[in-house]
Amino acid sequence: MKSMLGIGAVVALTGTAMAVTPFTEDFSYPDGSLVPNGGWVSHSGTTGQVQVSSGAISLVQGSQSEDVSRSIGAPLGAGETVFFGFDVTMSGSGPASDTYFAHFKNSATFFTSRIFVSSPNAGGDYSYGFSASSTIAGEWATDFSYGSTQRVIASYDFDTGAINLWINASSMGDPSLSFFGFAGDAMEFIAFRESSGNTVQVIDNVAVGSTFAEVVPTPGAAALMGIAGLASVRRRRTA
């Protein structure tokens, strides 16, 4: 499960340190509350509800309310883009209802690159939505089945406000959802959220970086996720 490549500090060719300090997070903590392990803080809701279990965390939508975040380094600045990747396995009670569960945030309450679990479009259990705001701007074209795992990657560009979402991608050229939000916002944290809904997200292998390559899984892990995705499609076609 712990399949991400190790990531060191990134320094620009000029020798100037980038705002984003790349890191990986595999939640190798004792079972129990995530906070305060690894620099995670509770910034809203009931502290202690986001739990570590067997080296992953669970976000329980509908009955819990904790929002947790971790610093990406210094606040994002001019000329910089931040990338955020993680593995997520969904479960739920019936077709998913819309709610966002991951995003970037600044030091206050401005969010962007909001990643939603969204209602299915074509007979699956759920899909993904994406937006700079609390309303879904667009949805992924395909559905997924509960129990499958996806590698989700999102980005935010400081200069343009551009946000992007990739699912199970191996390069930036793979299919993505792309929108524009507010430019020039000093994003400083990644965050996970518990709110309304009827799903649970099990999150593992988080990575943050200033390039796409720093947040993709190793080739072996990508292949395994591809196989899982094919199995999910086959199950839907034969159901």
**Domain membership flag for residue 16:** no
Say how many C-beta atoms besides its own lie within 10 A of residue 59's C-beta. Answer: 26
In a domain, 2, yes or no: no
Instruction: Classify residue 87: in a domain, yes or no.
Output: yes
User: Does 50 reside within a domain?
Assistant: yes
Domain membership of residue 40 (yes or no) is: yes
Within-domain flag for 4: no
pLDDT at 234: 41
The boundaries of the domain holding residue 191 are 23-238
Look at the chain and report how many structural domains it folds into: 1
CATH code where residue 80 lies? 2.60.120.200
Residue 131 lies in a domain: yes
Q: What is the pLDDT of residue 188?
A: 97
> Does residue 101 contact residue 116 with C-beta atoms inside 8 Å?
yes
pTM of the model: 0.85
pLDDT along the chain (239 residues), means of 10: 40 54 97 98 98 98 98 96 98 96 96 98 95 97 97 98 98 97 97 98 98 83 44 40
Tokens 């965050």 locate to 191
Residue reference for tokens 């395909």 = 142
In a domain, 7, yes or no: no
DSSP string, the chain: ---PPP----B-TTSPBPSB--EEE---S-SEE-TTGGG-EEEES-TT-SEEETTEEEEETTT---EEEEE-BSPP-TT-EEEEEEEEEEEESSSPPPEEEEEEE-SSS-EEEEEEEE--SSSSSBEEEEESSSS--EE-SS-B-TT-EEEEEEEEETTT-EEEEEES-SSTTS--EEEE--SS----EEEEE--SSSEEEEEEEEEEESSGGGGSPPHHHHHHHHHHHHHHHHHHHH-
